Chain A
Amino acid sequence: MAVREWAGQELSEALRRELPEAVEGFDETAAWVNPSQVGAAAIFLRDEPSLDFRFLNSITAIDYVEYFDVVYHLTSLKQQWCAVFKTRLYGRQDLSLPSVYQVWKGADYQEREIWDLMGVYFEGHPNMKRIMLWEGFEGHPLRKDFL
C-alpha cells in the first residue's frame, strides 16, 4: 500500500480548524505556517488522532536571499500518510524559530545543523552548539552570500 501524500490545502484546512491564527496559506504540496506558531502547530500535528504525524522525516532550510524557507516533512506510520508544512522568515540577521525538539526529538541534530550551516536559531533547543563546524568558524556556509 502506497503512502498517501496530503495536499497543501487539505493540511491547511485541518490546521485552520484548531489553530486559525497559525495558518498563512497553502500551495500545491504544503501548508504555510506562521513562524511564531510552529511550536503549537507541531504539537497539534503530532497529537491530533486524525493527523497523527508522529514521525518527523526532515527539516530543511532554504536561503532565498530576501527570506529563508524552513520545510518540515512529516509522516504518520500508523495512518500511512505524509505531509509537508513550511514557514518563511524574512531578513538576514537574528533569525529564530521555535524549536520542535520537545515535540519530535528527531529534530535535535537537524536543528543544530540548520543553525550551524544556515544561521537560523531555534529557541528552546537545549543545546544550540555548532554541530559540523568548529567553534570560531566565521559565517554560515550554506547561505548564498557565503563564498
Chain B
Amino acid sequence: MQLPTGNGPLHERTWGIDREEGQMVNDLISISSEPIEVPFIEVPDDLKSNLLVTSVDALVNWGRKSALWPVSFGLACCAFEMMATAMGRFDIARFGMEAFRASPRQADLMIVAGTVTWKMAPPIRRIYDQMADPKWVISMGVCATSGGPYFGSYSVVPGVDHIIPVDV
C-alpha cells in the first residue's frame, strides 16, 4: 500500500494511487475473460454410484470436527442473509462456524456474498491470496455466481470464478 505524496488537499494527493488502482482493475479485466478452471476430481467407475452419500457424510463429519471459520465477505444484499445465518433463528453456531473472522489470515472459508464489481475484484483477489491453505470459497447467490440480475452490466464481474477458484 502506497502513501499519498505531494501537497494540497487529500483528494489531490491521492490521484497517483487512484490511477494505479484503476490500472490494476483494467489489468485484471484483461486477464480474467474466462472462468478459472477448477481441477476435476477423477472418480473410479465402481465408486460412482455410492460416492455422493459417503462424501456428504464425510463432509458433514469433517465440517463438524474442524469447524470452519469463515471470513466475512459481505458485499451486498446477501451479506444480510449471511448475518441472519449467524443470528438466533438459523444459528450457524450449530456447525461451529459462528466465528466470522475479520482477518483473512485466520479464516479457512471465504463466503462471497453479493454482487462482485470489477472495482471490487482486486481486493477480493488479494484477500483470497492472504488466506492460509487449505482454503475454500463459497459463492453465495446468483449475483456472485454469474452476475444474476446484473449480468451484462458494464461494471459487474460475470461470476466470481473469473477471479478466484470457487468450490461451491
Direct contact of A and B (CB under 8 A): yes
Tell me the A residues contacting B by CB distance below 8 Å: 126-127, 129-130, 132-137, 141, 146
Q: Nearest-CB distance from B30 to chain A (Å)?
A: 11
Among B15, B25, B155, contact of A136 (Cβ-Cβ < 8 Å): B25
Chain A residues whose CB sits within 8 angstroms of the CB of B118 once the complex forms: 134
Instruction: Tell whether, in the assembled complex, residue B11 and residue A127 are in contact, meaning their CB atoms are under 8 Å apart.
Output: yes
Instruction: Tell whether, in the assembled complex, residue A146 and residue B154 are in contact, meaning their CB atoms are under 8 Å apart.
Output: yes
A53 to B22, CA, bound (A): 38
Instruction: Tell whether, in the assembled complex, residue B11 and residue A134 are in contact, meaning their CB atoms are under 8 Å apart.
Output: no
Instruction: Tell whether, in the assembled complex, residue A134 and residue B119 are in contact, meaning their CB atoms are under 8 Å apart.
Output: yes
Instruction: Tell whether, in the assembled complex, residue B23 and residue A136 are in contact, meaning their CB atoms are under 8 Å apart.
Output: yes
Instruction: Tell whether, in the assembled complex, residue B119 and residue A133 are in contact, meaning their CB atoms are under 8 Å apart.
Output: yes
Given A126-B9, A129-B11, A129-B18, A136-B26 contact (CB < 8 Å)? yes
Given A126-B9, A127-B11, A129-B11, A134-B154 contact (CB < 8 Å)? no
Instruction: Tell whether, in the assembled complex, residue A134 and residue B9 are in contact, meaning their CB atoms are under 8 Å apart.
Output: no
A31 to B23, CA, bound (A): 43
The 5 A-B residue pairs whose C-beta atoms are closest, nearest first, are A135-B22, A136-B22, A134-B22, A134-B25, A127-B11
Given A127-B11, A129-B11, A135-B154 contact (CB < 8 Å)? no
| B19 interfacial contact with A, CB 8 Å | yes
Q: Nearest-CB distance from B24 to chain A (Å)?
A: 8
Given A126-B9, A127-B11, A133-B18 contact (CB < 8 Å)? no
Q: Which residue of A lies closest to B17 (CB)?
A: A135
Chain B residues whose CB sits within 8 angstroms of the CB of A136 once the complex forms: 19, 22-23, 25-26
Q: Nearest-CB distance from A55 to chain B (Å)?
A: 25
A104 to B118, CA, bound (A): 32
Q: Nearest-CB distance from B8 to chain A (Å)?
A: 10
Instruction: Tell whether, in the assembled complex, residue B19 and residue A141 are in contact, meaning their CB atoms are under 8 Å apart.
Output: no
Chain A residues whose CB sits within 8 angstroms of the CB of B167 once the complex forms: none
Instruction: Tell whether, in the assembled complex, residue A135 and residue B9 are in contact, meaning their CB atoms are under 8 Å apart.
Output: no
Chain B residues whose CB sits within 8 angstroms of the CB of A133 once the complex forms: 119, 155
Q: Which residue of A lies closest to B155 (CB)?
A: A133
| B129 interfacial contact with A, CB 8 Å | no
Residues 95-135 of B, flagged 1 when their CB comes within 8 A of A and 0 if not, give: 00000000000000000000000110000000000000000
